[in-house]
Structure 1
């Protein structure tokens, strides 16, 4: 079962640590934020979901020291970029092929971070306009499949610019009517 819980807000501790607050979050709670989790044990399951949601393109990303010529400083620079609070204008789908990582999802209703640990065969769908961030675990390794409706792209919009983005405003409107 996937681990989902409120982030402990101990920002002085390495963000790759678990940051378990002791307060679990249900998948139903994530669903109210528009976040969908699925455990998909086969590539056929992933392909079916991609077809169902209109995802035509994909790529694979490897994050590990080996991906950066065994230079952990370069890996940390990339992780720091992914860990900045940001939104995307498109839905984001990530499927863990190997390793592990954390998606932090901002609950905009109560203004708290929710940490979701992804391990092999876990898939997360993050709606457009929701603040989130990502890091690997202390194992420093994840291999993830990224799915795209059109051409592969990764355009992050960081705070504070994201606050005024129309996609962000549309997302917030869905929370008020839910």
Structure 2
């Protein structure tokens, strides 16, 4: 099961679990209500044949898929890429990741208080980060993750670093934060 907790505004060491002491954990409903982040547990053993992942892809209109491996051996310009991934940004489309192997952290901003929430992801976790939310990603101390990425239509890779408050996707996200998120 995914773990999520409020954390400090730590920016110097992205691989350590900096959190409030003691950590304040959120359950999945609290995570969704505070951020709009959706979570699904998928079997890494049977996802290619059991239909669960395909059902989510079909219902949400994900038509493009690829895979990324983040490790020193597999990712070109590894150190630079991790710095880019860890820079606070948003996207105009939702960010969907299914973790096949390894582990890492997605940090998202709590919309109400602008506090970081760290979401630990491990094999079998599928996370959907809504468009317009400020977020970042880093690996944990294992320095390895293999994830499938999904998109509606052609992938849009453009991160918009903070501040990007005037973007329409950010305004739409803030409006959903006020009125309440609805599960897709």
Determine if the TM-score, normalized by the shorter chain, exceeds 0.5: yes
Contact 1:79–1:135 (CA under 8 A) maintained in structure 2: yes
Instruction: Determine helix, strand or coil for the equivalent of 1:78.
Output: helix
Equivalenced residues, count: 172
SS in 2 for 1:52: helix
What's the counterpart of residue 29 of structure 1?
Answer: 30
Tell me the equivalent position of 1:167.
Answer: 169
| Match 1:55 to one of 33, 57, 62 | 62
What are the within-5 Å matches in structure 2 for residues 40-119 of structure 1?
40-41=42-43, 42-43=46-47, 44-68=51-75, 74-119=77-122
Structure 1 stretches of 5 or more lacking a match? none
Q: Distance in 1 between matches of 2:42 and 2:16?
A: 25
State the shift of 1:152 in Å. Answer: 2.4
For 1:163, what is the secondary structure of its paired residue? Answer: coil
Structure 1 segments (4+ residues) deviating >6 Å? none
- The 3-state SS of whatever aligns with 2:171 is helix
CA displacement at 1:38 relative to structure 2: 1.0
RMSD: 1.3
Name the CA distance, whole Å, in 2 between partners of 1:169 and 1:68: 34
- Counterpart of 2:124 in structure 1 is 121
Question: Normalized per residue, which structure has more helix?
Answer: 1
Unaligned runs of 5+ in 2: none
Task: After TM superposition, give the deviation of residue 9 of structure 1 in Å.
Answer: 2.8
